[in-house]
Chains A and B, each alone.
Chain A
Amino acid sequence: MSAFARKITYPMIEVENLTKQFGTKRAVSNLSFTVKKGEVLGFLGPNGAGKSTTMRMITGFIPPTSGDAKVCGISITDNPHEAKTKIGYLPESAPLYNDMTVVGFLKFCAAIRGLKGTAKNDAVERAIETCFLNSVATQSIDTLSKGYRHRTCLAQALLHDPEVLILDEPTDGLDPNQKFEVRQLIKRLGQTKAILFSTHILEEVDAACTRAVIVDRGKIVADGTPSELLAQSETGSLTDLFRKVTSSDTGAAA
């Protein structure tokens, strides 16, 4: 089954000419890309490049000014309710309800996703194990450290075993051990799902991605597998490529 699943590589996320205009500022401009099943797409770019805005549009949190995103072939603008059932989403700041316990929060998220009874309890248990939350499961969320908060929010995204995972800076604020674990997790999950994750840590491209795009000021400026991107760089360093194709907000890099 898994060998077969790896063979069929139809696009699970299709982003078509996605544009978002905030007043006079164009945050995302005519962005198009696809993510296939079994693919982990790294979404790179400087701060303010439009990464989070793009992810918020794909997940249906904000409506696009124009263009569309399809998840498993379902349009997020025409049929948001059904498309949202296919997505697991980790927002940037890993927001959580601080007054709940980890288990309580995950049960709430599972219930809202339509899981009931033993299916709900099994899903919560699985997510707790996958994200290594056993030791804090009954703890109140406001007592958790940043790493645990992040993983609790990640667990929430995995509850309903979604076909598409959208992770906004999943390793932000984690210590090196936790970063390593989360990257391994993304790699493992990526074998059977389509994953889009944003980061500005360039080592993660090599460590976890099968493909990466670099966006700058709402546009894609580089796209390819990690080795293709390295080949594009004259010095063989991703950092140099990144600095070459993106603009610095301080204006220091010329």
Chain B
Amino acid sequence: MSSCTIYKRELSSYFSQPTAYAIIVIFLMFSLGLTFTFGEFMRVGDSSLQWTFFFWHPWVYMLLAPAVGMKLWADEQRTGTIELLGTFPVSTWDVIIGKFLAAVTVWLIALFLTFPIVLTVNYLGNPDNGEIFAGYLGSFLVCCAFLAVTMLVSACTRDQVVCLIVSVAICVLVVLCGYDPVTRELGKVVSPAVLEGVVSLGVWDHFRSLNSGLFRLKDFVWFGSIIFVCLLGTSAILSAKRA
């Protein structure tokens, strides 16, 4: 119940300020722009959207997801409203869940607004819509994981800019460490076991298998544990800061 109240407040604050609109518009411009330019949508004829459309999502998220999440705790700490939250009869978890879901909702709306591309491939070809759905699910989970990381960083600082820079840096690392050109170079200097470890830490292994419609348990465990550990860390940091 209280997380629902927090959720509503956070969500309306995204939309009462330009934040959500700016991010949604930029996301649509980049994700669809890249699809039609570097993704070569018209030439490749990939109706699953895996390489032309979804491939760009982690790249865009690593820069934009922290912009949505950076204010979650940093702003509360800067303005002192955290003292109000801390003395209301609500648990820290209620607030964490409410805030996280509000940020997630902004991205759900952004993802939903990419629907014209789905209509387009259905008009032009004969795609497997289940596979497209799996692509969306993978994309959504990557976004949730990045938001959770941002929330954790946001709990550590009262400065939104610091939060943005640190979260982007972490997300860039997670994106790069499983990216093929990087792993190829890395493979030349480290042992295969280490390389495998690095790849499984990165986002691509899990994102791609979901993209291709493969529902592997380990991918859900990877996304689930990143989100869970980050939210748990947020709670721990907030309690430690007060003590």
Least Cβ–Cβ distance between A72 and chain B, in angstroms: 13
Decide if A56 touches B88 in the complex (CB within 8 Å): no
Decide if A95 touches B83 in the complex (CB within 8 Å): yes
Task: Report the interface size for chain B: residues with CB under 8 A from the other chain.
Answer: 24
Decide if A95 touches B79 in the complex (CB within 8 Å): yes
**Residues in chain B near residue A59, CB distance under 8 A:** 87
Chain B CB within 8 A of A187 CB: no
A93-127 Cβ-contact flags toward B at 8 Å (1 or 0): 10111111000100011011110000000000000
A91-B80, A95-B80, A112-B2 as given contacts; A61 in contact with B9, CB under 8 Å: no
**Residues in chain B near residue A91, CB distance under 8 A:** 80, 83-84, 87
Chain B CB within 8 A of A242 CB: no
Decide if A56 touches B79 in the complex (CB within 8 Å): no
Q: Which of A63, A84, A98, A114 contacts B87 (CB 8 A)?
A: A84
Decide if B83 touches A61 in the complex (CB within 8 Å): yes
A63-B242, A81-B91 as given contacts; A95 in contact with B81, CB under 8 Å: yes
A99-B17, A100-B13, A111-B5 as given contacts; A60 in contact with B81, CB under 8 Å: no
Decide if B87 touches A87 in the complex (CB within 8 Å): yes
**Closest chain B residue to A59 by CB distance?**
B87
How many residue pairs between the two chains, A and B, have CB atoms under 8 Å in the bound complex? 64
**Closest chain B residue to A93 by CB distance?**
B80
Chain B CB within 8 A of A89 CB: yes
Least Cβ–Cβ distance between A158 and chain B, in angstroms: 14
Q: On chain A, which size bracket covers the interface?
A: 20 to 34
Within 8 A of B (CB), among A63-102: 63, 81-82, 84-85, 87, 89, 91, 93, 95-100
Chain B CB within 8 A of A231 CB: no
Decide if A61 touches B5 in the complex (CB within 8 Å): no
**Residues in chain B near residue A62, CB distance under 8 A:** 242-243
A62-B243, A97-B13, A100-B13 as given contacts; A112 in contact with B90, CB under 8 Å: yes
Decide if B91 touches A108 in the complex (CB within 8 Å): no
In the assembled complex, the Cα of A112 lies from the Cα of B5 at a distance in Å of: 6
In the assembled complex, the Cα of A81 lies from the Cα of B81 at a distance in Å of: 18
**A56-B83, A82-B89, A112-B6 known; 10 other A-B pairs, CB under 8 Å?**
A62-B242, A91-B80, A91-B84, A95-B81, A95-B83, A99-B13, A104-B12, A109-B88, A113-B88, A114-B89
Residues of chain B at the chain A interface (Cβ within 8 Å): 1-2, 5-6, 8-9, 12-13, 16-17, 79-84, 86-91, 242-243
The list of the 3 closest CB pairs from A to B, nearest first, reads A95-B80, A84-B89, A61-B86
Q: List 29 A-B contacts (CB under 8 A).
A: A60-B86, A61-B87, A62-B243, A63-B243, A81-B89, A81-B91, A84-B87, A84-B89, A85-B89, A87-B87, A89-B84, A91-B80, A95-B82, A95-B83, A96-B81, A97-B13, A97-B81, A98-B79, A99-B16, A100-B13, A100-B16, A104-B12, A108-B5, A108-B9, A112-B2, A112-B5, A112-B89, A113-B88, A114-B1
